[in-house]
Chain A
Amino acid sequence: SQTIHQWPATLVQPVGSPLSLECTVEGTSNPNLYWYRQAAGRGLQLLFYSVGIGQISSEVPQNLSASRPQDRQFILSSKKLLLSDSGFYLCAVGATNEKLFFGSGTQLSVL
């Protein structure tokens, strides 16, 4: 079964600073990868998904970008963080049996 590594667990960043969140997956090859965000008191919002290296689809216009430089690596980035970027960020991997498995998440606070 796959293992999802997501770090850091918590992050506090000032407005205008850059962001890089990394997600790596073990135990599977050529997975579908996803970035979700959950703002405080709100539901899960799909941000990006990727079906392969270099293939990124964005679900909503925003201040963030994603990249997939390797098969099992998915990176979420921003050049300049906004207050509205605060939230709980989750990486997920799609399994061949159509289930999604989620990482432990990063709680980002932009101050």
Chain B
Amino acid sequence: DAKTTQPPSMDCAEGRAANLPCNHSTISGNEYVYWYRQIHSQGPQYIIHGLKNNETNEMASLIITEDRKSSTLILPHATLRDTAVYYCIVRVGGANSKLTFGKGITLSVRP
């Protein structure tokens, strides 16, 4: 699976949008971009994934650049409960494909 690079941490104000960047310059054409988050002392939670088109669900939006070498996860209105470690992962699609987590980015939402 392609390697991803994320800043170690960032913060944002409650109620504002949180834009979490991820670089994956060596991504292959058949690799998807996945985002998970882990709140302290809990298991990771799936957020969203995409191949090349932008995606949106009830939790977040995923913006993938046209060359697919980077992406941004957007939490439109961050709350204190969004404070967590966010993992950007790229992997080949398919149910038997393993998910390898990096260090992620720690998002701190301040009141």
Binding site for B on A (CB under 8 A): 32, 34, 36, 43-46, 49, 51, 59, 88, 90, 92, 94-96, 98-105, 107
Q: Are B95 and A102 in contact (CB-based, < 8 A)?
A: no
Q: Are B93 and A98 in contact (CB-based, < 8 A)?
A: yes
Q: Are B95 and A94 in contact (CB-based, < 8 A)?
A: yes
Total A-B pairs in contact (CB under 8 Å)?
53
Interface residues of B in 84-111 (CB under 8 A from A): 87, 93-104
Nearest-neighbor residue (CB-CB) of A36 within chain B:
B101
B contact patch SS: loop
- With contacts A43-B102, A46-B100 known, is A103 near B43, CB below 8 A? yes
Given contacts A88-B41, A100-B36, 12 further A-B contacts (CB under 8 A): A44-B44, A44-B101, A45-B101, A46-B101, A49-B98, A51-B96, A94-B96, A95-B95, A98-B93, A99-B49, A105-B41, A107-B41
Partner of B45, one of A32, A49, A94, A102: A102
Which residues of chain B are within 8 angstroms of A95 by Cβ–Cβ distance?
95
- With contacts A43-B101, A44-B101 known, is A102 near B94, CB below 8 A? no
Partner of B42, one of A92, A98, A105: A105
Q: Are A102 and B43 in contact (CB-based, < 8 A)?
A: yes
**Interface CB pairs A-B, < 8 A, 27:** A34-B98, A34-B99, A43-B101, A43-B102, A43-B103, A43-B104, A44-B38, A44-B44, A44-B101, A46-B101, A49-B98, A51-B96, A90-B44, A94-B96, A96-B95, A98-B49, A99-B49, A100-B36, A100-B46, A101-B46, A102-B43, A102-B45, A103-B43, A104-B43, A105-B42, A105-B43, A107-B41
CA distance A100 to B91 in the complex (A): 12
